Chain A
Amino acid sequence: MNLKNLQIGLFIPCYIDQFYPQVGIATLELLQKLGLDVHYPLKQTCCGQPMANSGAEKEAISTYKNFIQNFSPFDYVVSPSSSCVYHVREHYNILEQTDEVKKVRQNTFELCEFIVDILKTDDLKIEYPHKVGIHQSCHGLRGLKLGSPSELVTERSSKIHQLLSKAKEIEIIIPDREDECCGFGGTFSVFHPDVSVSMGKDRLSAHLRNGAEIITATDMSCLMHLEGIARRQKHNLKAVHIAEILNSNRL
């Protein structure tokens, strides 16, 4: 398989599109630097998770269909969001499983797993002289199995650590309770605001306590929540999506 001939569809989740364009740009640039033919279908919107997580899966079907329509022409769909990718793979089961749907579900990848599992590389020649706290987004960790969750008695592994540990001069910070949820949880963050914020505050202190200057994750949604609390509390902790770190290379 010649990777250069592959057509890659870039999926930029709705809230990244609207609020964090730099994450989309980093993802696109990184994939291009890796020599891939990347396309961004302009009619894409969202994976449909906001409705489905709130119980309104049926209301999300048109959004699902829009996603399939936009991305079925591609060999792979790559996205800087483990949560959205997990949603496409796991919850598009309610659609009629046509060849198109099956293809999209199988070929949609989160950025880090795409790099490690499909491109089979982990050294992106990065130099990143910062103290980086890794937040393990739950859908990436327990859903996509980007790493071994602390609950399981399995060999410890993590694609995120694998990629970041290759960076020169980086200091990786592991927070206490290494993979506890940040409390975002999609609409949970607004329907259960007190618990959600309390979880977020605890996550932040676990990173700060251990000396993190930057907090990174595979999901900007976790970071949006954590950053929102940090800014309100005037903490000096920067949230940077992992795509931005991985794109800081000189390939």
Chain B
Amino acid sequence: MTGHAQQAGQFLKNRERAAWHDETLWIVRQKRDKMARAVPEWEDLREQASQIKQHTLSELDNYLVQFEKQAQKNGAQVHWAGDAARFNEVVSGIIKENNATKVVKSKSMLTEECGLNPFLEKKGIGVTDTDLGERIIQFREEPPSHIVMPAIHLKKEEIGELFHEKLHTEKGNFDPTYLTAAARVHLRQKFLEAEVAITGVNFAVAETGTVVVCTNEGNADMGVHAAPVQIHCVGIEKMIPRMTELGVFIRLLARSATGQPITTYTSHYQRPKPGGQMHIVIVDNGRSEHLGREDYRNALKCIRCGACMNTCPVYRRSGGHSYGSVIPGPIGSILAPHSHIKNYNDLPFASSLCGSCSDVCPVKIDIHDQLYRWRQDLSEKKRISPTKRHTMKIAGKILAGSKMYDFSGKMARWGIKNLPRKLVYNRLNVWGKERELPEVPKESFKQWYKRTQQGKGGKNGQG
């Protein structure tokens, strides 16, 4: 078994937790359904969003330059980073210039992708993640398991214990309201001390040079308003042309993500506060190259709502960590191989190709088709196991003509029927570990057809 299959197997060993994880995320999917169905023009919105993104990606160079000009006009400082290393240098450079050591950060998958936290920590800069879920996993020193609900793999009891250890809450108290209040007190202090606030960006509006950040906790605002220096980190694919288009995405984002009509806060940041600094770091990190791959370009439309994770029956039953990539689930499985084909060559296979992800996606990314395409590309590049490759080669030969096929079918049926059960259900029979093989009929359809239909004459009597 490959990496993901093995990790998923581990996850499923704790049946109770796995069932709880599955059910919890299914509830989110149901909330999404309810919200989506309350918008009669939902499918039109998806189509619009998809086309806006399509257009923006096709003219991305122009929109990026327009965005930079506008942002500079607004008084923001714009930086460009070609890759993760450069990005980390730029951010740490800004922090150093301001002689800062205390940084708060609201949720940003981009900074996860670039490994900003460990980079800054090595330089002696303390970063506090201020999103509650992010703070929890930061305490636990583990990566997020979901892009919208980073600590969804944990139960409240575990968080109660963690907070008892880290924040000295009462032992055994895992009441969510109590724990949230404790986190709030802890984070307030961090906000007050912070010299620099970092945020991710949901949308960057080229027309106005605005960055838009959507949160439920208001933590991005707490950080930005309290700290003198604000840094917004944005991937190049987050551009949208104009403010009028923002509404399309805002209507789709929270409904798709958590089944809310809108996030509690939709914050527009446009200019630095009096006496403060506003920095925007625009990051490529492989995106331009991805943009050049036409078959996969659609994936750059992603607005990181996580709906494909909540709907994915594989994700729900294997947990985000089983993917081993920064972004897990269906969208992660088509994004990750772009960054490192060898490390993530198993992810496009971590799907039954049911297609639910593509239908739930608010920007209509053809996720399951891309999974299929990746499989072909990985095989072509000899990135799948030699055993699998050879098996498929043999299967291809057998199924190419009826002689080999008829013979092999007969052998297989004979084997299942006549060999001792122990031999048929051997260690290598993965199917048979928890499933019975089909009962063997006395003849195949073809044999039946030849016996009963051929030579009958008339309309249906020929082969």
Enumerate chain A interface residues (CB-CB to B < 8 A). 12, 14-25, 28, 32, 37-46, 48, 50-63, 65-66, 91, 138-139, 142-143, 149-154, 177, 180-181, 183-186, 188-200, 202, 224-225, 227-229, 231-232
Contact = CB atoms under 8 A, between A and B. Distances in A.
Nearest to B454: A42
Interface of B: 1-2, 4-5, 8-9, 12, 18, 22, 26, 33, 36-37, 39-40, 42-43, 311, 313-314, 317-318, 348-356, 358-360, 372, 375-380, 384, 388-389, 392-393, 395-397, 399-402, 405, 409, 412-413, 430-431, 433-441, 443-450, 453, 459-460, 462-463
B435 A197 contact: yes
Given A18-B444, A20-B441, A55-B378, A193 B409 contact: no
Contact of A191 (B5, B355, B448): B5
Nearest to A193: B430
B408 to A, nearest CB: 9
Given A42-B463, A50-B395, A138 B5 contact: no
A232 B421 CA distance: 13
Contact of A48 (B399, B412, B413, B463): B399
Given A54-B384, A151-B33, 4 more contacts: A61-B396, A186-B353, A194-B9, A229-B434
Chain A interface main SS type: helix
Given A55-B378, A151-B311, A195 B5 contact: yes
A180 B392 CA distance: 28
B311 to A, nearest CB: 7
A81 B208 CA distance: 53
B309 to A, nearest CB: 13
22 contacts: A16-B445, A18-B444, A22-B441, A24-B449, A28-B453, A39-B460, A39-B463, A44-B402, A46-B399, A53-B372, A54-B388, A62-B396, A151-B33, A152-B43, A153-B40, A180-B356, A192-B349, A193-B430, A197-B434, A199-B313, A200-B435, A229-B434
Interface centre among A46, A150, A195 (most CB of B within 10 A): A195
Contacts of B463: 39-42
B445 A56 contact: no
B354 A138 contact: yes
A25 B359 contact: no
B419 to A, nearest CB: 16
A63 B400 contact: yes
A48 B398 CA distance: 11
A76 B450 CA distance: 22
B313 A181 contact: yes
A17 B445 CA distance: 5
A59 B445 contact: no
Contacts of A23: 445
Contact of B399 (A40, A42, A45): A45
A191 B445 contact: no
A191 B2 contact: yes
A15 B42 CA distance: 40
A227 B42 CA distance: 37
Given A43-B401, A54-B375, A152-B359, A195 B354 contact: no
